[in-house]
Amino acid sequence: MRVLGIETSCDETGVAIYDDAPGAGLLAHRLHSQIAMHIDYGGVVPELASRDHIRRLVPLVRDMMTEADISANSIDGIAYTAGPGLAGALLTGALMARSLAYAWGVPAIGVHHMEGHLLAPLLEPEPPAFPFVALLVSGGHTQLMRVDGIGRYELLGESIDDAAGEAFDKVAKMLGLDYPGGPSVARLALTGRDDAFKFPRPMLDRPGLDFSFSGLKTAVLTARNQTPDSPTKVADICASFEAAAVDTLIRKCLRALEQTGLKRLVLAGGVSANKRLRADLGVALKRIGGQAFYPAPAFCTDNGAMIAFAGAQRLRAGEHQDLSVSVRARWPMTELAAVP
């Protein structure tokens, strides 16, 4: 089955074509980032994001199919992000997908954005086998899931306030760094001392697998306000904050693996591209005989490939929806049906 995937949940317009035939896989993909448009505002402006998706979608799909020499007649289905995300942005992709599905006479299916992220490592040459624990860590979500198959998800823990990626972005704004904040903090952290400030590791002193980053953000703000300025102050704060956030994520992952008795860990979402997180997690897992699986860096952020892949799994299982357009800004992943 050859599936066109469309991703428009926030500030990236992604399209891709995935073929689940043996030896085929991802045939083509294109991605347009809106960072340059939102940078003056210090964050995503939903109305601008929606309008830019409208401008970009048709040219992206047309150019991708032309360059890959793929015709509409060879598309067997269309998958699009139906949630969670910005409602207006989601609607642009949904309307495009439904229109193409009607015009081409193929089924369409709305895909859960975080299921796309979770399954992205399955696009790699050596995908993880089920079951595994997944850490979904992005600007909008921080969740630990037990994954026994596609659609067979058990929520183990999640953030009770800001997601990890959101904490990175807000710390960057506190420090006057450029948008997007996560990469800016990570770059500056390379030049700082990660032991310069004793920031807390939130919620590690209590049982359970939930996360909280609000106290860590407050500690960063206090350090910024109470520490004399110096040439290295901001870099040291970045390094110490990143160390605390990464340490918290890793220790919760190890706790989840111990609790479930599993050894395979999938790391997905925008923050999964963080180099310190990958390096420190690799060391921690090696000590317990565990193994980590990641998407390629190009597929850590929002992209059409993960939506095409996730949609192909569900379309192949016989799932599809009618022509009505429905998106969900909030959508618990545990509500998804299992794929046989």
Q: Which residues are annotated as a binding site for Fe cation?
A: 113, 117, 302
Place of tokens 């860096």: 297
Pairing status of strand 108-112 against strand 264-268: unpaired
* Residue of 93, 75, 102 whose CA lies nearest to 19: 75
Contact partners, residue 276, CB within 8 Å, separation at least 6: 186, 189, 242, 243, 246
Binding-site residues: 113, 117, 136-140, 169, 182, 274, 302
Residue 337 to residue 340: CA distance in whole angstroms: 9
The whole-angstrom separation of Cα 65 and Cα 145 is 35
SS3 260: helix
| 81: its two tokens | 């992000």
Length of the chain: 340
**Could you please report the per-residue DSSP string of 93-127?**
HHHHHHHHHHHHT--EEEEEHHHHHHHGGGGSSSP
Q: Which residues are annotated as a binding site for substrate?
A: 136-140, 169, 182, 274
